[in-house]
Structures are given as C-alpha cells and as structure tokens.
Amino acid sequence: MTVQRRGISKTPESSAIEKKIKRGNAQRQASSWRGKVITLLLLTGVTGLVSWMYFTWADDFTHTLVSRSEILTQPRVFTVECSEDYKKYKFFPGCTPSKCGRAITDSVVTLEEAQKLRRLAERGLSLAGSDGGASILDLHSGALSMGKQFVNIYRYFKNELRDVFTEDDFELYRDVRSRIQKVIAETFGLDSKQMYLTKPTFFSRINSTSAKTTHDEYWHPHIDKETYGSFDYTSLLYLSDYGLEFGGGRFVFMDPSSNRTVEPRAGRVSFFSSGSENLHRVEKVTWGTRYAITVSFTCDPDYAIDNPSLPVGSTRLKGTDE
C-alpha cells in the first residue's frame, strides 16, 4: 500500500523502472489474452492442448512463493541481485543493502499476537476511516484516514483514546516491531543496531470499496526506495487470511519473467530490500477485509523515528479491551 506517491523525474533509472512496470502490464495483458484463447479452445473441445498451454503459461507468468495453507517454521528466502538504486544514497556500512532479496516467515509473530494487533487496528480504525477502500492508522505520527483526508488521532480523538488503546497494546506493537527488525538483520547479515525504524509505518485496512482519492489506489506497481527515499528494508505483517477473510489482496513481486505472489496469513511476516529489484504491487481486494501492518526500516539515522507510546493520561485499566 502506498500512502503518498511522488513524481519520478525522467532519468535513466526512472526509465528502467517504467520499463519494468510496462513489462508487468504486458504480462497481465498476455494473461487476459491467454484466458480468451483457453475459452475458445475449450469450446472447440481441444482439452489436452488447453491444459498444456494453461499450465505452461501460468508457470511463465505467475508463481506462488508461499501459499496461505503453508506454515513456515523457518524463513523462506529468495535472493535477487541488488539494483543500482542504493548507489544514489549515502552508504552505511553494516546496513546498506549489498545482499538483496525477499523472505517470508511464520515464526516471528504468533497467531494470538496477530489477533491482538488486529483488534488494536479495528478499534483505532473504528474511529474514522477512508471513503475509499483503503484506510490507514499510523501510531507514530497519529495519522488516521477520515473521509478523503487524514486527521491526527492524538489531537482529534484525544478524549476518546482512553477507551480505545491500552499501554499493553503499545508494548506488544513495540515488541513485534523489534522482532521483525531482528529477523531482517539475521536474514540479510546486517547489524540490527544500524537499522532504524522509519516512516511511514502503519496499519492498513483494505476492502473492495472503490477508490475515492489517490490515497486509496494501493494497487499500483511501485518501488519503495523510489517512492519514499528513506526505505532500505520493507516488511509486512499480515493480520488476516487470504481466501478465508478476503479475496484478492495478494502481494505481488513483479519480476522480469513472471509475477511472484505471497498469500497473506495472520501472523505471517514478508520482508524485502526496498530497491527496484523488488518492484511490487498489491492485488485489488475483491471481497472481505484485509488487515496488515507495514513496518519500514532505514539505514540513515536522519530518517529514524521513535517507537510510538500512549499519550500520558490515556491509559486504560488492563484487560478492559477483552
């Protein structure tokens, strides 16, 4: 999900990015054409040829890295060659990506913890929400979707917060964020102390409501390093299950030869280096509601943000959210 999109100047790098996006669009157009051909062949009874053509083309264009039904006890890691993006930014030894890729794990966050974080998101987003299909809640900045804009939850709902969040909510959020940072560092061979949380880091709630503003258009292909500048590593913690609680909404890596998808599962963490080696998008949600947390990291301390904390005077009695 992209909260804010920036214009990209016409540089050799941006031209390369545009080519990747156009390649992805061409793949999807070919996929649509493939479906029409299959339908025609089915009508003419060429079943054997249809099956061969479908599975051959499906392998060429779409590959599922991890399905929702799988449970990964160890990170499943896919190495890709680093792009040139990072050379345009200051180099930070022990952190700036030199080993790039993507990984998925189900062993960092428990299902119970994911359910607690989802309830936190549901309570916070119940205060407002976007008119379109994508709403966000940022506990760091306080940004909350409201209609076609954003409000600061710590100012706008200051008096209601005591009935929404507990200190235990924030403690769990901070602990999970720390664990995600640790697994990213271990997987990519980094010094976790040289990694810093950066913005935007936020909860997202996506449903099938049509977009009302550009903030709701989460499905466009994009590159986090180009979009935000500060990002070096991106992670997604899923809080709901693909195919059970929502349809569509898969995470898609758009590689030159194929699209590679991750099917969300509550408690699953997907993370990757943020350059153009990981051009990606999210499929449109077709039914139900998809919840997730985007947690972003930078190597540049100038872009670091602090952990969120519940404002003084807003703490509820423990257990009152059950």
What pLDDT score does 77 carry? Answer: 97
List active site positions. 290
- Residue 40: count other Cβ atoms within 10 Å of its Cβ: 11
Residue at 276 is within a domain:
yes
Residue of 119 and 38 predicted with greater confidence: 119
> pLDDT (tens digit, 9 = 90+) per residue, 136-163?
999 999 999 999 999 999 999 988 888 8
Contacts of 159 (CB under 8 A, 6+ apart): none
Q: What is the pLDDT of residue 320?
A: 34
* Identity at 299, one-letter amino acid code: C
Tens digit of each residue's pLDDT (9 = 90 or more) over 215-229? 899 999 999 999 999
pTM for this predicted structure:
0.81
Residue 1 vs residue 211, higher pLDDT: 211
Give the CA dihedral 48, 53, 54, 57, nearest 10 degrees. Answer: 160
CA distances from 229 to 4, 6, 232, 296 (A): 12, 10, 8, 12
Q: What is the CATH number for 124?
A: 2.60.120.620
Q: Is residue 119 part of a domain?
A: yes
DSSP state of 249: -
Q: What is the pLDDT of residue 162?
A: 82
| Domain count within the chain | 1
Tell me, what's the pLDDT at 313? Answer: 60
Kind of pairing between the strands at 246-248 and 285-288:
antiparallel
Alpha helices in the chain (DSSP H): 12-43, 47-61, 111-125, 153-156, 167-188, 224-228
- What is the residue range of 199's domain? 62-303
Q: For residue 244, is it within any domain? A: yes
283: left (phi > 0), else alpha (psi -120 to 50), else beta? beta
User: Is 28 or 281 the better-scoring residue by pLDDT?
Assistant: 281
Instruction: Return the pLDDT at 57.
Output: 40
The reply to whether 35 falls in a domain is: no
Q: What's the pLDDT tens digit per position in 56-114?
A: 344 447 899 999 999 999 999 999 999 999 999 999 999 999 999 999 999 999 999 99
Give the whole-angstrom CA distance, residue 229 versus residue 88. 10
pLDDT in tens, 226-285: 999 999 999 999 999 999 999 999 999 999 989 999 999 999 999 999 999 999 999 999
Question: Does residue 67 fall inside a structural domain?
Answer: yes
State mean pLDDT over 195-221: 96
Check whether 289 has a pLDDT greater than 80. Answer: yes
Using CA atoms, how far apart are residues 52 and 139, in angstroms rounded to an integer?
50
More confident residue, 172 or 19: 172
Q: What is the dihedral of CA 155, 161, 167, 170, to 10 degrees?
A: -60
User: Percentage helix, strand, coil, to 5, in the chain?
Assistant: 35, 25, 40
